[in-house]
Structures are given as C-alpha cells and as structure tokens.
Amino acid sequence: MGIEIFNIDSTYKYVENSIIDSMKALDLDTESNLWKMRIENNAHNILDFVKADINRMAKYKKKILPLYYELDFGWKEAFYIEKDGISIPMVGKIDRIDKYVEEDKYIIIDYKIQTIILEIWDIWQMDYPCNCLHI
C-alpha cells in the first residue's frame, strides 16, 4: 500500500474488467451495445468516486489511510449505547474508518449520506459514541 503511483487509465481498465468478470459470473451478456454503455458508465462512476476520495484524503494536513471497511458492530457481540441511564442495543455497519498515520485519531465515513460523520481522537474511549451515530 502506498508503493505505486495512482494511474487513472490502468485503474479504469481494472474496474471495467472487474465489472465484466462479475457480469460473466452471473451469465449476463456483456457484448450488447446497451450493456457496453452501462459497463462504461459504471466504470466511470466508480473511478470518479475513487478520484474524489483521493482528493479528499489529500486535503488533510496530516497523512490518513483507510483502516476498516464495512465494520460490523452489535451482531456477534452486544453493543450498547448508554444515554441518560438508558441502555440502547445497537447493530449496524460503519462504511469506513480512516486513521491518521501518526496519531490516535480516526474519521468515520458514511457513503450513503456521502459525508464524514465524525472526527474523533480516540474512537474506542468515547463516553457517548451515540454522538457519532446521531441518536
């Protein structure tokens, strides 16, 4: 990680081939003009997302790297939020957590609402993690 320089053309081809391979695995037609157009459109959308994410990370004054993707909580082990003496059981999935390389600081990202939910210094020692879950 971090060894190669990001190359748009090779990344686009990789994304396009991955889409085609996934479609072929489902026995879908990848040769019709309609599907070729859809594949191209999806590959461009994914590449735009990757470029936007790289630009977002480059704007930080300190280096950050992705730490976790699709992190489940509350499924295998109970997860509760304590608020005003009430214990609220929670289950869910955090889309992504980035970490500052030289600090114990994290960024929680939600792709559905396309925003950073919260930047926190120590995610594991928060008194009220409900702040980051918008309760």
Question: Domain residue spans in the chain?
Answer: 8-58, 64-131
Residue 78 — pLDDT band, cuts 50, 70, 90?
Answer: confident
What is the rounded average pLDDT of the residues 54-62?
Answer: 83
Contact 130, 74 (CB under 8 A): no
Output the pTM of the full model. Answer: 0.58
Span 52-79, mean pLDDT?
A: 86
Could you read off the pLDDT of 11-55 as tens digits, one per residue?
889 999 999 999 999 999 899 999 999 999 999 998 888 888 888
Neighbours of 85 (CB within 10 A): 5
Predicted confidence (pLDDT) at residue 3 exceeds the cutoff of 80 = no
Give CA separation, 84 vs 73, 74, 81, 87, 132, in Å.
22, 20, 10, 8, 16
- Report CA 65 to chain centroid distance, whole Å: 11
